[in-house]
Amino acid sequence: MRNRSIFVGSALLLALGSAIVLADVRPNGSVNVELQTSAGNIVLELDGNRAPRSVANFLKYVKSGHYNGTVFHRVIDGFMIQGGGLDRDLREKETLPPVENEAGNGLKNDKYSVAMARSGDPNSATSQFFINVADNGFLNREQSQDGYGYAVFGRVVSGQQVVDQIAKSPTRVQPNPLYPAMLLEDVPVTPIVVKAVRVVSENGK
């Protein structure tokens, strides 16, 4: 049975430690962000009211160009698609310090919601995110095994068919380029590349 935890690589997290910092700007209202991928475009509506730390953190990576050239490196049909942290060579990109877990904000890991990926440390989310391709209630704080859950901070409002297409990508297991003894599971055979990410509207404007 596949591992249905949303874990990020450990190397950078260990280097960063467990410090938590807030982003400089805590957005109000909604922010729409477009992911231009090799499979098509996906528009996310980010909820800056209910997940201000996660949204501000995500927008920092967007505006710095961090996501450009990254890939959806873990894809499990019927579960989720994960990206935001590895380049085309599956090497981890440098990240900012992690943000506080906001999984208690009332937003749920429903189909087409977008949430922060993390390690076993509940407050370890940095740049990696995932889009649920099913209703994954067991990832919500109320139902999670660790009592923390995974913080949802937005939803897909356009490009659901692209998400579904990515979810059905053939995958394989391959060695981690930095740690060959460690295996990366559910890696798309054909890379799904995030070409660019941009903010398209804020507060409905």
Confidence at residue 166, expressed as pLDDT on a 0 to 100 scale: 98
H helix count then E strand count, the chain? 3, 10
For residue 102, give both structure tokens: 């906001």
pLDDT of residue 24: 41
Q: What is the pTM of this model?
A: 0.87
Residues in the chain with pLDDT values less than 50:
1, 9-26
Q: Buried b vs exposed e over 126-143: b needs ≥16 C-beta within 10 Å?
A: bbbbbbbbeebeebbbee
What does the pLDDT read at residue 145?
Answer: 82
The helix (run of H) or strand (run of E) holding residue 13 is helix 10-16
HSE (side-chain half, CA atoms, 13 Å) at 130: 29
